[in-house]
Chains A and B, each alone.
Chain A
Amino acid sequence: MQKEMENGKVKKSGINGGENGKEEEVETPTNITIKGILALLMATIDSSSSSIDNKKRTISLGMGDPTAYTCFHTTAVAEDAVVDTLRSQKFNGYSPTVGLPQTRKAIAEYLSRNLPYKLSPDDVYVTAGCTQAIEVSLSILARPGANILVPRPGFPIYELCAAFRNLEVRHVDLIPEKGWEVDLNLVDALVDHNTVAMVIINPGNPCGNVYSYQHLKKIAETAKRHKILVIADEVYGHLAFGRNPFVPMGIFGSIAPVLTLGSLSKRWIVPGWRLGWFVTTDPNSTFKTPKVVERIKKYFDICGGPATFIQAAVPRILEQCEEVFFKRTISILKQTSDTCCDRIKEIPSMTCPHKPQGSMALMVKLNCSELKDISDDIDFCFKLAKEESVILLPGLTVGLKNWVRITFAVEPSSLDEALERVKSFCHRHSSIQQKS
């Protein structure tokens, strides 16, 4: 059985044998996107042969987009703020390419609350979601021969964007037994004089880790030692519900310059609004020399940005920071992450090495040897989709073969049902004699 994937052109063979009956190696694809894989998994469900009556409703634990569930709904304040700025008719025109001044100021103040120094509005550039902030970071650092360090498992947009900008990518492993901390010895080994930056994602996607103050400090010191900057992807900022509080990397900006990336998408549950930021948290101006600042501004001149009236709503959204809403979100995420871990414990062929402490996803290891006729994570996910109408993300997409990423930002009862189906799937495919 073969499956050819649209973007990645990856040929996969089942245990039944691929072409010529040989097992084919699965390349780590550089052009597979999460959305691409999820679309293929969806298509498998749609084309499955079960009759309408037998067809279960599809439950996707594949993507970090909780907006499909009513329990995850943005605040009335956020919605009203945007309605008002739209109605005012003052914001239908172009904004300055770096963002509206009031928006930059509001984001600077919001982030400064948790920093030992004050950010200036000039440190803040408003982007169309964190995706564009990633694009900006990589684009301004790219130069012939340069390389950046990205985490594995990680977020594939970094690889894709780097490839596009001719930036070489070197992978730094995160250590599951150590709460997915960054393998700093490996960083030392990988860095050379062409390395320009290292990326950290905290709170972590896909692993759900929240790094301790000490670990982040060590990262900063490592970066300083190697004279590289840190790109801190904090798109899940403040979504921490475990033991470690969320610590912004910018705190260590005086040790090594930090570029902080973030957005409204996760904390306010509005990924579709495309409102993010790229911030130079670099109090010693090591990176943000006038020349570099000029270049950043010029890059924004040729980019499209977020809608002006959404930008204009940001000050109100950030200032009226609703603790009740935030606590509620955290509480649901804690509950669902607990459920997830508990259920996975009941499934022999799956292990979760580190309970998630934040963000919206966790990584689970598959024990394929305990599953008959399942060859790897991709096979697992496609068969699961087909038989149970449940979508999980194959770990290969995020850099770890034979793992799966499970999103728990899902309404509790749907999560329960989905995991129940996963359990029954594993049971059905188990190669171990199960006690009844």
Chain B
Amino acid sequence: MEKNGVKSWNFKGHEDLITASQFSIKGVVNKLKQNLNPSDDQSRPVISLGHGDPSFFSCFPHSAQDAVLHSLRSAQFNGFPQNSGVLQARRSVAEYLSRDLPNNLSSNDVYLTAGAKQAIEVVLAVLARPGANILLPRPRYPMYEAHATFSHLEVRHFDILPEKGWEIDLNGLEALADDNTVAMVLVNPGNPCGNVFTYDHLQQVAETAKKLGILVIADEVYGHLAFGVNPFVQMGVFGSIVPVLTLGSLSKRWMVPGWRLGWIALSDPSGILEKYGIVECIKSYLSITSYPATFIQGAVPEILEKTTEDFYSKTIHLLREAADVCYDKLEQIPCISCPHKPEGSLFVMVKLDLSLLEDINDDMEFCIELAKEESVIIVPGFTVGLRNWLRITFAAERLSLEDGLARIKAFHFRHAKKQIL
């Protein structure tokens, strides 16, 4: 390309990527961190209640670590794995998931990915075709929007309703679907809302999806992290009603997000996904993309088989306690209301009442000023699709959590509109 007779370089960056990545929570959190006051008056530590990283929890699965050490030292897993993953690993994920399913999964139903993040990438890429659209929940986990945009899949949002314990508005969802709708996504236990869907509700979702001729992508990355009234039910249970692609990983339940070990599991006893070419596509995509470290895959059987019930119950106990503390403290902050006590995952969504605050106009401003004045990081709701709400993580050290919430309370009172007496 010539410009004033001087040829300029032919390359430039890919435009879609900017659009895709504006959805990242990490991006917003980084912006908030830039607002932290380096010379905080009281030299207080920064408290981040913005992330979804449980790895600092003191209760840590040493057996998982040992499994990886064995696998590494064995020197059996330094090479390339087969495309879909090390066979023993796939088999053990299949067995693990089958424990709570009416039909047993086989190793052929399981594909290993570098974390559930890559599972999202694969599934959306595979479903994309010109003109297709996908139904995503709002509030949302923005990685779906990012990958949908990048794969040129149109996104349509259905609501999940705070007044109904964050259940899906099924009428709304039905109204959105058309012949070009390929799938719907649900996140259970929910991020960002901390809800856990009931068996009945999931069954209704399955029946609705079947009626619409779409598959269900069940993001169960927080699987089993349910500590409230509703037990965790795998969407795969309804695999004979509607084909289900379940996404999961070791990251949350075993607190090792840095290990990058996730999976896509097909719950589809009727073989519809195979018939419609989805299985072939998943395999093809995996053959051109990267995968989790082989020796970590090699450790999966030991991890899944040997982690004790004791470890699982300890985790749930810690989360329940933290959620309780969080909920109680939030109740004491007038400008914040929590429509539904969290019963799963690591998060809670709370509503901001801006009318009670002086000179704070929206959720992002709230979070920026909070970072500046109190060195606390929480996620503004617009990032997850609900303007003027906030997403708060309760998966933090007890003292940090209490301190953080106390600082938010102080922030409220500093900014509260003066009462006219």
Task: Decide whether A and B assemble into one complex.
Answer: yes
Q: Which residues of A are at the interface with B, using a C-beta cutoff of 8 A? A: 7, 31, 33, 35-36, 39, 63, 65, 67-68, 73-74, 79, 82-83, 86-87, 89, 91-95, 97, 127-129, 131-132, 135, 139-143, 146, 157, 160-161, 164, 193-197, 226-229, 257, 269-274, 286-287, 291-292, 294-296, 298-299, 301-310
A311 to B295, CA, bound (A): 14
Task: Give residues of chain B (83-117) contacting chain A, Cβ–Cβ below 8 Å.
Answer: 83, 113-115, 117
- Residue from B17, B78, B115 in contact with A272 in the complex, judged by beta carbons closer than 8 Å: B78
Nearest CB of B to A198, in Å: 11
Residues from chain A with a CB closer than 8 A to the CB of B117 are 302-304
List the B residue with the shortest CB-CB distance to A166.
B152
The interface stretch among B5-13, B214-222, B232-240, B318-326 is: B5-13
- Given A302-B150, A304-B113, are A227 and B8 neighbors across the interface (CB < 8 Å)? yes
A161–B287 Cα distance when bound, in Å, is: 10
Using C-beta atoms within 8 Å of the partner chain, give the interface range for chain B. 35 or more
B78 partner, pick from A132, A143, A273, beta carbons under 8 A: A273
CB pair B17–A227 under 8 Å, yes or no, is no
Within 8 A of A (CB), among B287-321: 287-296
- Chain B stretch 251-265: residues in CB contact (< 8 A) with chain A: 255-260, 262
B257 touches A68 (CB 8 A): no
A30 to chain B, nearest CB (A): 11
A129 to B260, CA, bound (A): 13
Could you say which of A92, A94, A141 contacts B11, with CB atoms under 8 Å apart?
Answer: A141
Residues of B within 8 A of A127 (CB): 290
> A273-B78, A287-B9, A307-B293 given as contacts; is B258 within 8 A of A301 (CB)?
no
The answer to whether the Cβ of B72 comes within 8 Å of any Cβ in the partner chain is yes
5 sampled A-B residue pairs with Cβ under 8 A: A68-B79, A143-B15, A196-B10, A227-B9, A302-B121
Indicate if the CB atoms of A307 and B27 lie closer than 8 Å. no
As a 0/1 sequence over residues 1 to 39 of chain B, the CB contacts with chain A under 8 angstroms (1 = contact) are 100000111111111011011101011000000000000
Additional A-B contacts beyond A273-B78, A298-B22 (12; CB < 8 A): A7-B284, A128-B260, A135-B289, A196-B11, A272-B78, A274-B114, A302-B20, A302-B24, A304-B113, A307-B260, A307-B296, A309-B259
Q: Does B73 contact A (CB under 8 A)?
A: yes
Asked if B291 and A274 make an inter-chain contact with CB atoms under 8 angstroms apart, the answer reads: yes
Q: Is B170 an interface residue (CB 8 A)?
A: no
Q: Which residues of B contact A140 (CB under 8 A)?
A: 13-14, 17
Neighbouring A residues of B290 by C-beta, 8 Å: 127-129, 131-132, 135, 274, 304
Set A132, A295, A308: member contacting B13, Cβ < 8 A: A295
Q: Which residues of B contact A31 (CB under 8 A)?
A: 284
List chain A residues, Cβ under 8 A from B8: 227
Nearest-neighbor residue (CB-CB) of A161 within chain B: B288
Known: A82-B72, A270-B78, A309-B259. A228 touches B10 (CB 8 A): yes
A94 vs B8: C-alpha distance when bound (angstroms): 39
Shortest Cβ distance from residue A343 to the other chain B in the assembled complex, whole angstroms: 25
Measured CB to CB, the nearest residue on chain B to A133 is: B290
The 4 closest A-B pairs by CB, nearest first: A272-B294, A308-B258, A298-B21, A67-B79
Given contacts A132-B290, A139-B14, A291-B13, whether A304 and B65 have CB atoms under 8 Å apart is: no
Decide if B143 is an interface residue (CB 8 Å cutoff). yes
Inter-chain contact A142/B14, CB cutoff 8 Å: yes
B287 touches A271 (CB 8 A): no
Q: Is the CB of A305 within 8 A of B65?
A: no
Contacting residue for A194 out of B10, B22, B53, CB 8 A: B10
Max count, chain B CB within 10 A of own CB: residue among A226, A302, A308: A302
Q: Name the residue on B nearest A165 (C-beta).
A: B14
Contact A164-B143, Cβ < 8 Å, known A287-B11, A301-B26:
no
Q: What residues of chain A lie closer than 8 Å to B53, measured between beta carbons?
A: 93-94
**Across the interface, which residues of B come within 8 angstroms of A35, CB to CB?**
80, 82-83, 287
Chain B residues whose C-beta falls within 8 Å of the C-beta of A95 in the assembled complex: 258
Nearest-CB residue, chain A, relative to B258:
A308
Q: Are B21 and A301 in contact (CB under 8 A)?
A: yes
A92 to B26, CA, bound (A): 18
The reply to whether A273 and B69 form a contact with Cβ atoms under 8 Å apart is no
Question: A219 to B353, alpha carbons, bound, how many Å?
Answer: 63
A79, A132, A161, A310: the one contacting B293 at CB < 8 Å is A310
Q: A139–B12 Cα gap in the complex (Å)?
A: 11
Q: Shortest Cβ distance from A326 into chain B, in angstroms? A: 17
Specify which of A7, A94, A295, A305 is in contact with B114 (CB 8 Å cutoff). Answer: A305
Q: Given the complex, which residues of B lie within 8 Å of A274, measured CB to CB? A: 114, 290-294
Q: Return the CB mask of B42-75 against A: 1 if under 8 Å, else 0.
A: 0000000001010110001000010011001101
Question: Does B293 contact A92, Cβ atoms closer than 8 Å?
Answer: no
For B122, the closest partner residue in chain A by CB is A304
Q: With A67-B78, A83-B73 in contact, do A301 and B27 touch (Cβ < 8 Å)? A: yes
Is B393 in the interface zone, CB < 8 Å from A? no
In contact, A296 and B81 (Cβ under 8 angstroms): no
B50 to chain A, nearest CB (A): 12
Query: Is there an interface contact between B21 and A299, defined as CB atoms closer than 8 Å?
Result: yes
Chain B, 177-213, CB within 8 A of any chain A CB: none
Question: Which residue of chain B has its CB nearest to the CB of A224?
Answer: B9
Chain B residues in 8 Å Cβ range of A291: 13
Question: Using Cβ atoms and an 8 Å threshold, which residues of chain A touch B292?
Answer: 274, 307
8 A Cβ contacts from B120-158 to A:
121, 125, 143, 146-147, 150
Q: Identify which of B83, B146, B255, B291 contacts A302 (C-beta below 8 A).
A: B146
**Once the chains bind, are A272 and B77 in contact (CB under 8 Å)?**
yes
- Residue among B18, B20, B288 with most chain A CB within 10 A: B288
Residue on B with the closest CB to A256?
B9
